[in-house]
Structure 1
Amino acid sequence: MLDTPTNRDTAVTLARAIATDDAFRAALADLIAFPTDSKSAEAPLHAYLAHVAQGFAAMGFETQGYTSEGRPFLVASRVEDATRPTVLGYAHGDTVPGMEGRWAEGRDPWTLTEDPATGRWYGRGIADNKGQMLVNMTALQAVLTARGSLGFNIHVLVEMGEEIGSPGLAKVCERLKDRLKADLLLASDGPRIDAGTPTIFLGARGGATFRLTLKRRNGGRHSGNFGGALKNPAMELAHALASIATPTGALRVPGWVPEGVPEAARAALAGLTPAGGEVDADWGAEGLTPAERIHAWNSAEILAFSAGDISQPVNAIPDEAQAVVQLRYVPGIDDTKLEQALRAHLDAQGHGDITITRQGAEFRASATPVDHPAARFAAASIARTHGADPVVLPSLGGSLPNDIFTEILGIPTVWVPHSYPGCSQHAPDEHLPRDLFADATGLMAGLYWDLGAASKKALLGS
């Protein structure tokens, strides 16, 4: 298998050049133009996958569509040699709502636009996840052009429901377990540690959301005539919420607190500044750095808290209070008992009247070890292209369906993100810096090239 510096450099240079070409921008604009809002019944999900399938077919991939739990899926495969390593790629084409009318300067979320002053490209899905998918497709094309083949086998699974919890993904992977058999998941989603630093993460924190409800009576009661003699559910729920964490944000719920940060994870996170630097160093678990708190620990957040009408408060004790609490958690927690742990904690604090219900999409925590051969291989490849070591994170701070790949398909997972913390993901004005596309595409071309010259032992260590 050819692996001379000249050939590898050719692939990397070509990838970067393609990513700065007008044709790349046009291809990205075409992807963004599909209003693939997960929550919209009219979203053209099938049409989007048909369009993506054409792009894979042009590179010699065989494509097949599937449906599971009412959601469409695409599998694109290029099998060159069964004795060579096989990679599983993953992407999602669905997005959060466009939030039309809330974008700056009247931007249309479904139209790719550029701010010449900042070099930013705007559009819904550009960061999450259409732009990242196009980066990887472009890098594959560059390797095919430079080498004449990939040198490895690849299946790419594209789903259209990640933003609503990936319905049907687990069933598709169970159903296609033999077809999707691979040595490694290599995919791109989420942000880098910052825009200029190549990053790898090896899994994702789990996410579980709970609605807490305390109803005391039907209708409010006059705050003067009844105040001091009737229980106030808003006050009670506020105390219950305050019991979940210390005044500085450290978790207090037994069963929600990890046993500790693994030494390998601690070493990987040493000296890192997470979340683009937007952190409060004195918030969260004591004795941990902000990077450890986000990428190797658990956190609970109050997403919403409601009682009465905040826009028009009246002199009345509210009859009901509600809050939504979300837990993000790392592997090692018994996630079958998260609700029971919260129930026991609230009961012990004297809040047994509060009702707990699970809400929204959930992801399980899972991660590949920091010292896994596949992680070391990917890090070395990116360092070779970039000229410096990438940041390696044990887990993404957010949540992804990583557990489906590690548990159902049984393969190690390596994620190479092409976004950055300030991209306004899930908000108006979602964007990416134009220059990030060329950098990311070059890194992926180098990684795909190296996979084409690697042995299965280099990826699996056995």
Structure 2
Amino acid sequence: MTRAQAIAHAERHFDSGEFKDVLARRIAVPTESQNPKRAGALVEYLDREMRPAFEAMGFTCDTLTHPLARAPFLLAERIEGPDLPTVLGYGHGDVIRGLDPEWQKGLSPWQLSERDGRWYGRGIADNKGQHSINMQGLASVLQTRGRLGFNAKYLIEMGEETGSPGLRELCEAHRARLRADLLIASDGPRLRAERPTVFLGSRGSINFDLTIEARAGGHHSGNWGGLISNPGIQLAHAIASIVSSTGQIRIPEWVPAELPDAVRRALADCEVDGGSDGPAIEPDWGEPGLSPAERVFGWCSFEVLAYKTGNPETPVNAIPPRAWARCQLRFVVGPDANEFLPALRRHLDRHGFPFVTIAATREEMFQATRIDPDDPWVQWAVASVAQTSGKKPALLPNLGGSLPNDIFTDVLGLRTVWVPHSYPGCSQHAPNEHLPAAVLREGLGIMAGLYWDLGSGETPYRETAT
């Protein structure tokens, strides 16, 4: 039995329609973790889909819980020998809200549909499609070799879309049981649809609210206009002091002192492209002097996610008493995350906005992570992906988005290698979430090859074991 046969097995699983059937069944489970009414669906996904699939591969499964978590976790383990490398896999079965009425005619978030070479359905990109690819990669190696050749552990959570509550504490409580040599997982997009990608961490993320409470109620704009302050105008000016009209952050504590040379080298041949349906990159937006790849993978970005003052649905001739904005900072390794909100407070006070209230939201803050691109495991993974795909993979120091990767690096002490099976134009978190069929099929082959190589004995396991 050979590596090529394992890859061919994974590709046949796709070509036969079997993979589509499995994925359709999983997408049909409405695992909206932001919707309290879907709590049963979160449990159903683990019990009806994940547990039987892992047990069919000879894994033992255990449902884990934690008081801080809103849903259970599934830990699957297949231990083949004490002297073999151990890999931890990770995925999440929960999805963002379906937004059913907003999908294109003929499409539904809970029904896998194919149109123009794309597969549509909520979770196909984030994250049901991605962990399903990885699970089938494991199955293809087992079917071909009869064993994995390494020890495998896999953790599936059902709360990632609500900030992974309880995940950190669960990993701390089960640190010994989750011990491994590295994490191999899949989430987020490739750099471009046609280019396989490996990333080594993620930008951090913190959400916070800015609020102005000027007075108890609204007042007629004709009688009081020019006499009393307008919170909507004041908050707009406060935000304008934080970021320029072209998106450049104006708080020094929020950005790195410089772009590290190692990051600049890694991103030198990386071209960001959202595909035909993705938005056009605006060359003058963000930090000046950086390439698009450097701006999204090497720098920090500030966003206003929502803004409200008055009554947007039915405006009236009244000066609103209140203004509110939900804001977000995505950040890379370097700045001190503990200083973000104190630095903002000092900044707003200096610029004449002491009346703006700052409040962190309930979402957990993800820390920024990035492992060494020259790590032997990284180079091994990149070589494996290149061999299978026949393409030079993009190597990103970190994902532009945020993941709970710091839990795996800081709590479990793992090297983290992410191999995404999505692309930037996938409409993740939006209506019409989809993936190109070609990306799904190529991902199956890549993961079968990667897992085959992990069990071949030719890995950095001996030189990196501690």
1:44-63 mapped onto 2 (5 Å cutoff): 44-51=41-48, 52-63=50-61
Q: Specify the alignment match of 1:189 in structure 2.
A: 187
Moved more, 313-322 or 290-299: 313-322
1:244-283 mapped onto 2 (5 Å cutoff): 244-276=242-274, 278-283=280-285
CA distance in 1, matches of 2:231, 2:171: 45
User: C-alpha offsets along residues 35-86 of structure 1, whole Å, 9 cap, x if unaligned?
Assistant: 1110222321111111211001101111111111232000111111111110
1:288 aligns with 2:290: yes
CA distance in 2, matches of 1:133, 1:258: 33
Q: Specify the alignment match of 1:437 in structure 2.
A: 440
- TM-score for the superposition, normalised by structure 1: 0.95
User: C-alpha offsets along residues 123-150 of structure 1, whole Å, 9 cap, x if unaligned?
Assistant: 1111111111110111111111221111
CA distance in 2, matches of 1:159, 1:459: 32
Alpha-carbon distance change, 456 to 179 in structure 1, aligned in 2, over 3 angstroms: farther
CA distance in 2, matches of 1:145, 1:317: 69
User: C-alpha offsets along residues 398-429 of structure 1, whole Å, 9 cap, x if unaligned?
Assistant: 11000000000001101000011111111111
Q: Specify the alignment match of 1:24 in structure 2.
A: 19
* SS of equivalent to 2:72: strand
Moved more, 222-231 or 245-254: 222-231
CA distance in 1, matches of 2:33, 2:273: 26
1:58-457 mapped onto 2 (5 Å cutoff): 58-68=56-66, 69=68, 70-115=70-115, 118-276=116-274, 278-361=280-363, 362-453=365-456, 454-457=458-461
Moved more, 277-286 or 28-37: 277-286
- Cα drift, residue 303 of structure 1: 0.9
Q: Specify the alignment match of 1:3 in structure 2.
A: none
The AA in structure 1 aligned to 2:17 is: D
**Retained in 2: the 8 A contact 1:363–1:399?**
yes
CA distance in 1, matches of 2:430, 2:184: 27
- Cα drift, residue 175 of structure 1: 1.3
- Cα drift, residue 343 of structure 1: 0.5
Q: Report the RMSD for the aligned CA atoms in angstroms.
A: 1.5
User: C-alpha offsets along residues 286-320 of structure 1, whole Å, 9 cap, x if unaligned?
Assistant: 11111111011100011111111234333322211
* SS of equivalent to 2:338: coil
CA distance in 2, matches of 1:255, 1:248: 19
Moved more, 411-420 or 100-109: 100-109
**Retained in 2: the 8 A contact 1:201–1:395?**
yes
Alpha-carbon distance change, 450 to 376 in structure 1, aligned in 2, over 3 angstroms: same
Structure 2 stretches of 5 or more lacking a match?
none
CA distance in 2, matches of 1:432, 1:342: 39
CA distance in 1, matches of 2:273, 2:399: 11
- TM-score for the superposition, normalised by structure 2: 0.95
CA distance in 2, matches of 1:200, 1:460: 20
- Cα drift, residue 253 of structure 1: 1.1
The AA in structure 2 aligned to 1:29 is: A
CA distance in 2, matches of 1:15, 1:92: 22
1:12 aligns with 2:15: no
Task: Count how many residue pairs are aligned between Structure 1 and Structure 2.
Answer: 455
CA distance in 1, matches of 2:165, 2:361: 15
CA distance in 1, matches of 2:200, 2:362: 24
CA distance in 2, matches of 1:165, 1:91: 14
The AA in structure 2 aligned to 1:249 is: G
* SS of equivalent to 2:183: strand
CA distance in 2, matches of 1:355, 1:417: 38
* SS of equivalent to 2:82: coil
- Cα drift, residue 461 of structure 1: 7.9
CA distance in 1, matches of 2:36, 2:222: 48
CA distance in 2, matches of 1:72, 1:58: 21
The AA in structure 2 aligned to 1:351 is: F
Structure 1 stretches of 5 or more lacking a match?
1-5
The AA in structure 2 aligned to 1:319 is: P
Identity of aligned residues (%): 51
